[in-house]
Amino acid sequence: MHTMSSKEAKDNFGEKVHEVVVDSDSEADHERAVGTSLKRTMKSRHIAMISLGGVIGTGLFLGTATGLANGGPVGLLLGYAVVGSICYAVMVSLGEMISYLPLPGGHITMAERFVDPAWSFTLGWSYWYNWTIILPAELSAAALLIGFWTENVNDAAWISVFLVVVVTINVFGAAAYGEAEFVFASIKIITITGLIILGIVLDLGGGPNHDRIGFRYWKHPGPFNQYNNFPGSKGRFLAWWAVMTQAAFSFIGTEVVAIAGGEARNPRRNIPKAIRRVYVRILLFYIGGVSIIGLLVPYTNPDLNLNASTAAKSPFVIAIKAAGIKGLPSVINAALLTSAWSAASSDVYSSSRALYGLAVNNNAPRIFMRVNRWGLPYVAVATSCAFGLLAYMAVSSGAGRVFGWFANMTSVAGLMNWFGISVTYVRFYAGMKAQGFDRSSLPYVAPLQPYLAWYGIVSTLVICIFSGWGVFLKGQWATDTFVTNYLPMALFPLLYFSARVWRRTRFIAPLDMDFKTGLAEIEAASYDEPPPRNWAERLWSWLM
């Protein structure tokens, strides 16, 4: 077992960096262990709110327009239910690993220990790519939302404003990001909860027009769209399948809790609490939200087509306008705009910490490990922010079209990351069993393992393989759709086998897996918090 010591040094620019030096018999191990350190500045309420609402963004509020148009109300609901079950399987698998070892780099570091260095290399760069690409998607969506009020200002101006806000939040470090997310996520949770309640009221005829909708749109135009006019069950099945990629875009990012684990206070208490609440987000916010959307808006509504319009076309806003409620659509649209800011801020945070994790594991230049005195990996943050400039593609191609491109690329890349996380857990489980660890003693024990992890492996691969099937239909070929769906999937095996050949790595045997390094520091950072003294503190403790 390694013995660790720390020291402070000055870099060439005269600022302090913290290095962790690990005594090892191997020079390679020594090089891999030396690095700059993040600081545990995120509080329990930050982690709790990030897990509940941190990445609820334009995928749910705006992207569901495409899902509803493609699949119809039941197709949309079934698509979100299936992807939600995959999300749950991946998150509980990840939660067990990261609760035991909440290290910088999250699952990227786990892959280094439990699979092989080439898997860590592939998972890390794929994860960074995913979060880097989703940033311009969120910025494009924000510009699309602004179109609700005005179309007279060029999208470039709004993208610039949003990008400045996102960069400002992230340059102040993890504590500022956590505080901003606490506020933004609170707004999103209040918004989606209010929209679900309002949707029920409108559906039952409680709106100004007193139109009792009920299940009208499930009868006409129907529960499923007939995809590409295919008749019968074939068309309905394809309509449901067309929802899967868009649904994945909405769920991708839930694993941000794992990346935040390296900067969380009392991680062995706060991370398990956050993981246990993942089902609340899936059932209440996502499944509840799309159920209401399917009741209120027919899938034939022309406003659901994001490519054909430059205005904000959230299904919630469409329903509220149709009900005759004045003023409220603008309030809701403003809340949705803050969700785009929030999700974009999470994108920069996650991509920069992924880049930091790659450098820690010797899979990226060591300059990305550089931090300032407050523990901010500023080189990684600056590099990740720079990719937000891709959002300016919306100026020439239209914000809705660009949003669709990036959503496809993000969905497939995110699903491949879920695949990588599930594989890592299967190896983690095998190592625990081989080395005689008692899983019941872990801070968090995932249910139904390793079967849920295998479910994640198989289902993510199937969705990715058939994600762009629509382009192979007669007369439906679209080069941009083909590239954005299959490029991320092709990159994953290309990166892995290239890294494996170049580095000559092999799978780590279960008996050789490292479950100990860094454990002492994690245990030292964990502590028992004082019990609540009254009902208010008990409620706050349960919530946060």
CA–CA gap between residue 46 and residue 128 (Å, rounded):
22
CA–CA gap between residue 80 and residue 527 (Å, rounded):
38
Task: pLDDT band for 530, please (50, 70, 90 cuts).
Answer: low
Contact 426, 457 (CB under 8 A): yes
pLDDT at residue 529 is higher than 70: no
Residue 4 has a pLDDT of 40
Condensed to tens digits (0 to 9), the pLDDT of residues 166-202 reads 888 888 877 778 788 888 888 888 888 888 899 999 9
Contact 340, 145 (CB under 8 A): yes
Taking the CA atoms of 447, 95, 98 and 106 in sequence, report the sign of the dihedral they define.
positive
Condensed to tens digits (0 to 9), the pLDDT of residues 286-316 reads 888 899 999 999 988 888 876 554 444 678 8
Beta-ladder partners of 36: 19
- Give the pair of three-digit tokens for residue 480: 């941009």
CA–CA gap between residue 230 and residue 241 (Å, rounded):
13
pLDDT at residue 14 is higher than 70: no
Residue 29 has a pLDDT of 40
Superfamily classification of domain 40-502 = Amino acid/polyamine transporter I (1.20.1740.10)
Return the minimum-mean-pLDDT range out of 10-14, 131-135, 217-221, 379-383. 10-14
Q: What are the residues whose beta carbons fall under 8 Å from the beta carbon of 185, sequence distance 6 or more?
A: 49, 50, 52, 53, 54, 56, 342
Task: pLDDT band for 76, please (50, 70, 90 cuts).
Answer: very high
Beta-ladder partners of 264: 42
Higher-pLDDT residue of 422, 357? 422
Residue 394 has a pLDDT of 59
Residue 2 has a pLDDT of 39
SS3 264: strand
Highest-scoring range by mean pLDDT, 107-111, 117-121, 127-131: 117-121
Higher-pLDDT residue of 310, 423? 423
Cα separations in angstroms, 399 against 106, 469, 477: 33, 24, 22
Running DSSP on this structure, what letter comes out for residue 179? H
For all residues of the chain together, what is the average pLDDT?
Answer: 78
Q: What are the residues whose beta carbons fall under 8 Å from the beta carbon of 12, sequence distance 6 or more?
A: none
Task: pLDDT band for 78, please (50, 70, 90 cuts).
Answer: very high
Contact 261, 101 (CB under 8 A): no
Domain residue ranges of the chain, discontinuous segments joined by +? 40-502
Contact 423, 107 (CB under 8 A): no
Q: Which of 406, 494, 510, 511 is nearest to 450 (CA)?
A: 510
Query: What would the mean pLDDT of 385-410 be, rounded to a whole number?
Result: 70
